[in-house]
Amino acid sequence: MVSLPDLATRRAEFDREAMVHLDALYSFALKLARSRDDAEDLVSDTLLRAIERWEQFHVGTNIRAWLFTIQYHVFVSRMRRIDAREVHPSDDNDGWAVFEAAQAIDPERAFYDSFLDEGITRALRGLPDEYRSAVMLSDLEGLRYGEIARVLGVPEGTVKSRLFRGRRLLQRQLADYAVEMGYLRAPAI
């Protein structure tokens, strides 16, 4: 049986380790949720779940990957609930379809997006969700294949495939950009 002081020490150590990764969790949440408010909610829900299950975490293992796993599952669950509640509009009989919803300017999102050039950010956002998640976890967050597999709940081979395909899509989308920025030379015709 674990004594109370040992339990308190383990909990304090868990809290200390988890809080180090708040910025990374928020950054990943922004990329997943695409809005500051939703990202904040996602981080809060992630931390709440992690704290509820803190005894399942083993000190010395990769807490960052464990937290990303929780966050990704919270995000997927949330998206499934939204999809289930979503009402698909019928034909537009009143002519409102020509209008688009105005989006609020989000300075925090603009700040985080400024770390990547707008062309790269746009290309990342354009990737299908499963590819975008794998590419972000690997190339932006630095997780290894096995860690990404655990976060996404898929086999390691699927991670490799998604990374390959996601990077290929990015490569095609960013070819002109790479030439324009001087990273590549245009082929001689």
Residue-range domain boundaries for the chain = 1-84, 112-189
Reported as type and span, the H/E element at residue 166 is helix 156-173
Give domain 1-84's CATH number out of 1.10.760.10, 1.10.3720.10, 3.90.79.10, 1.10.1740.10: 1.10.1740.10
pTM higher than 0.75? no
Which residues, in sequence order, are CB contacts of 138 under 8 Å at separation 6+?
145, 148, 159, 163
**Of 94, 45, 75, 81, residue with least CA distance to 152:** 75
Confidence of residue 154 (pLDDT cuts 50, 70, 90): very high
Top-confidence residue, 49 or 184: 49
CATH top class, domain 112-189:
mainly alpha
Confidence of residue 99 (pLDDT cuts 50, 70, 90): very low
Which residue blocks in 59-182 are alpha helix, DSSP H? Answer: 63-85, 107-113, 118-126, 129-135, 145-152, 156-173, 175-180
- How far is it, in rounded angstroms, from Cα 188 to Cα 180? 15
Place of tokens 């991670």: 159
